[in-house]
Amino acid sequence: MIVGDLKPLEEIVSAVKDYKQVLVLGCGSCVTVCLSGGEKEAEQLGRQLSEVRHYQGPPPKFEVGCIIRQCEKDLVHDYQEIPPGTDALLSLACGAGVQTLADVYEPLPVIPALNTTFLGASDKPGTWTEKCKGCGDCILIHTGGICPIARCAKSLFNGPCGGSRGGYCEVGQGTPCAWTQIVARLKKMDRLRCYEEIRTSKDWTPGGASGVRRRVRTGLAEESKNR
Amino acid sequence: MSYFIVNEKCNGCLACVENCPAAALDFIDQNDGRTLKHNMTRCARCGQCWRVCPQDAIEFQHLLEGEWDDVITLDLIHCRVCGEPLYSPAFLKKIEGELNSEGETLCPQHRQSEAAAKLLHSKPGKTGLQPGAK
């Protein structure tokens, strides 16, 4: 899922202080599950931002809402009500959600309340770890299901660097060396030959190197109504 | 109850069934009737059904703002002073077992005030205990 982190409160206050009425809008999917931008977080942020001590003048009025996904234009357009008098939106969605709101409600300013951080998975309750860079050309079949692009600090392709010590990466913070993990996994799978195979250099074009990526699913796009 | 609700414009064309990416919609033709079926545990609430429906028959708002379902109703123990609801008898039994002591059915506020009263009564002069007495 997409993992996001709430921006520092001071940064958000600084962004909203000049508006009169702000809708704090949570997103009901990824950022709800990673406990950073759902309905509860939106309500909490609304309460925190309403405290007068943050402002020199009168604080803005904060309304709170949440929609299941902010990243779908038609859904947002048809089902998200904007209270009358709202002069800015504060979105707790990922960057995709923020931009969708900005498109739908132009020229209303849309302020991001989160920093979108990574594509990750939950290894244990309350902990999310980056697992995927969205490179567009998945090589997990060769690496035992462990991505060296996302999980090696240098995104190395051909084995560990000299900074790998005792199974850990030199960047510290208890970060495992992805290549140590890959080799161990391949051994268990009896597929170490994958490690020894010579592969052609990676084409980074599908990873966004050639501009904005777009996908059209044949059939659905043509059949859908123009909502 | 079903959260997937269609209005009177539904003509049973099955566009929603065919386009549901989560296979959460199905249908049964039986005797003289066609029944549209929805499985909430499969539904991703992605809205594709609503998008493709040529009849504008799908009332997707019911999948966004649903009613609350009752899950279970248990007996409730209340604070013996103010009557504030506390917990179920089963929860109390579990806590008593883990603490190896009999639980007091008091809310936090009255637990605190009773503890304070006990402390007051245990002070020298109040209970008859003398300084230095063991």
Which chain B residues are Cβ-neighbours of A220 within 8 angstroms?
Answer: 19, 48, 51-52
Q: Which tokens go with A214?
A: 């777009």
pTM, two decimals, is 0.84
| Residue-range domain boundaries for chain A | 2-118, 136-227
Contact A224 B52 (CB under 8 A): yes
User: What pLDDT shows up at residue B80?
Assistant: 95
Write the pLDDT tens digit of every residue in A153-166: 999 999 999 999 99
A-B contacts (CB, under 8 Å): 23
CA distance B107 to B88: 13
End-to-end C-alpha distance for chain B, whole angstroms: 67
- Give yes or no for residue B124 having a pLDDT over 50: yes
- Is B72 a member of any domain? no
Does the beta carbon of A220 lie under 8 angstroms from any beta carbon of chain B?
A: yes
Q: Tell me the CATH number for domain A2-118.
A: 3.40.50
- Is B133 a member of any domain? no
Does the beta carbon of B17 lie under 8 angstroms from any beta carbon of chain A?
A: no
CA distance A87 to A82: 10
Write the pLDDT tens digit of every residue in B52-96: 999 999 999 999 988 889 999 999 999 999 999 999 999 999 999
* Chain B residue with Cα closest to A79: B61
B20 and B50 both lie in a single domain: yes
- Is B5 a member of any domain? no
Which residues partner with A119 through β-bridges?
A2, A132
ipTM surpasses cut 0.90: no
Confidence of residue A222 (pLDDT cuts 50, 70, 90): low
Which amino acid, A29? Answer: S
Which amino acid, A18? Answer: D
Residue A209's alpha-carbon distances to A135, A157, A202, A204, B40, in angstroms, are: 9, 18, 12, 6, 40
What are the contacts of A99-104 at 24+ separation with CB within 8 A? A100/A70, A100/A71, A100/A72, A100/A73, A100/A76, A101/A25, A101/A70, A101/A76, A103/A73, A104/A73, A104/A76, A104/A77
Does the beta carbon of A68 lie under 8 angstroms from any beta carbon of chain B?
A: yes
For B66-107, where are the alpha helices, taking DSSP H only? 89-99
User: What pLDDT shows up at residue A118?
Assistant: 97
Q: Say which CATH number the domain at B29 has.
A: 3.30.70
**Residue of A143, A138, A139 lying closest to A159 (CA atoms):** A143
Non-local CB neighbours of A183 within 8 Å, separated by 6+ positions:
A159, A160, A192, A195
Distance in Å, alpha carbon of A149 to nearest chain B alpha carbon? 30
User: What pLDDT shows up at residue B1?
Assistant: 76
Instruction: Give the number of domains in chain B.
Output: 2
B21 and B46 both lie in a single domain: yes
Contact B64 A68 (CB under 8 A): yes
Confidence of residue B128 (pLDDT cuts 50, 70, 90): very low
Helices (H) and strands (E) in chain A, counts: 9, 7
Pair A3, A117: CB distance under 8 Å: yes
Pair B19, B48: CB distance under 8 Å: yes
Distance in Å, alpha carbon of B16 to nearest chain A alpha carbon? 11
Which chain B residues are Cβ-neighbours of A75 within 8 angstroms?
Answer: 47
- Give yes or no for residue A227 having a pLDDT over 60: no
User: What pLDDT shows up at residue A210?
Assistant: 84
| Owning domain of residue B107 | 77-121
